[in-house]
Amino acid sequence: MYLKMIISITNQKGGVGKTITAINMAAGLAMQGYTTLLLDMDPQGHSTIAFTDSDEIDLTNYEVLIGEVTFPEVIIPTKIEKLYLAPARISLAKLESKLLGELDGHFRLKDKLQQIKDNYDFVIIDSPPSLGLITVNILVAASYVLIPIQSSYFSLEGTDDLLETIEKIKRRPNPGLQILGVLITIHDHRTVLGRDIVHQIKRVFGKKVFRAVISQSVRLEESPAYKESIFTFAPSSKGAKEYKQLCQEVINRVQQERATKSY
Ligand SMILES: Nc1ncnc2c1ncn2[C@@H]1O[C@H](COP(=O)(O)OP(=O)(O)O)[C@@H](O)[C@H]1O
Ligand SMILES: [Mg+2]
């Protein structure tokens, strides 16, 4: 029995740690024994490049979403046991114009995922830096959203738009969608500003904020370039500990949620 949890890592701002979080959460969950699919939905394909050489990839999510092939034809194993990748490259940027005007334009990802979601404990979706049709597809398909927020002066700018989009999607296409939590990323705990920002984020999001806070770390920044997760690149680093703590919290929250639902 698989958990079948679809978690999107979403924030329309670029550079807030979505991809680093998607990569390391997916790797961390797989290393804890959960069969996990990392689904790259950003045309920049950074999650894809972090686990493969681009010349190894033939078909991508784009071909799945326009109906040319199915997910099993594009999903590839990674060097981490139990971790699989559904890759993307720049071609995915064409998807929005292809889906525009299609009756099922918002539901394409959800529909295509039906074929495979039962085969995984977790599907972790890396999102593009926009609130366009790709992000809407992601939020319609997801069970949970994890929102990474960078610990910086303008960190909360734009979150209103994201929360509004989530609310709209909950009203109609996906009433079951929930915010799994808010993750503070790229944090510098040594500065007063850094600490102030954490307080501010906690004031707005309360208990939704994960206890795990991801520090600013050169090791984390370097790891994707070496095609490694932080757990193999620098296993005893702060970043590895913090992402491990995040994975544990994610598992706890998901299981708590399941337990309350089954009553
Ligand atoms: N905790 C961190 N410490 C230092 N650099 C980080 C950290 N998290 C992410 N980065 C770097 O910041 C940049 C943006 O991160 P990324 O995960 O690509 O964000 P997004 O996917 O939201 O655009 C990348 O260069 C990444 O290596
Ligand atoms: Mg990214």
Number of domains making up the chain: 1
Domain encompassing residue 113: 5-261
CA–CA distance from 180 to each of 126, 156, 238 (Å)?
A: 15, 18, 23
Q: Which atom of ligand 1 is least distant from the CA of 42?
A: 21
> For the chain, percent helix, then strand, then coil, each to nearest 5?
50, 15, 35
Q: State the CATH number of the domain containing residue 225.
A: 3.40.50.300
In tens digits, the chain (263 residues) has pLDDT values of 899 999 999 999 999 999 999 999 999 999 999 999 999 999 999 999 999 987 889 999 999 999 999 999 999 999 999 999 999 999 999 999 999 999 999 999 999 999 899 999 999 999 999 999 999 999 999 999 999 999 998 889 999 999 999 999 999 999 999 999 999 999 999 999 999 999 999 999 999 999 999 999 999 999 999 999 999 999 999 999 999 999 999 999 999 988 887 66
**Does ligand 1 come within 6 angstroms of the Cβ of 134?**
no
CA–CA distance from 66 to each of 11, 84, 148, 247 (Å)?
A: 24, 21, 29, 33
**Does ligand 1 come within 6 angstroms of the Cβ of 61?**
no
Phi and psi based region of residue 101 (left: phi greater than 0; alpha: psi -120 to 50; beta: remaining): left
**Does ligand 1 come within 6 angstroms of the Cβ of 214?**
yes
Q: Which residue, judged by its Cα, is nearest atom 11 of ligand 1?
A: 221
Look at the pTM and tell me if it is higher than 0.75. yes
Pocket of ligand 1, candidates 49, 186, 188, 233: which has the most ligand atoms within 8 Å of its Cβ, to mutate? 186
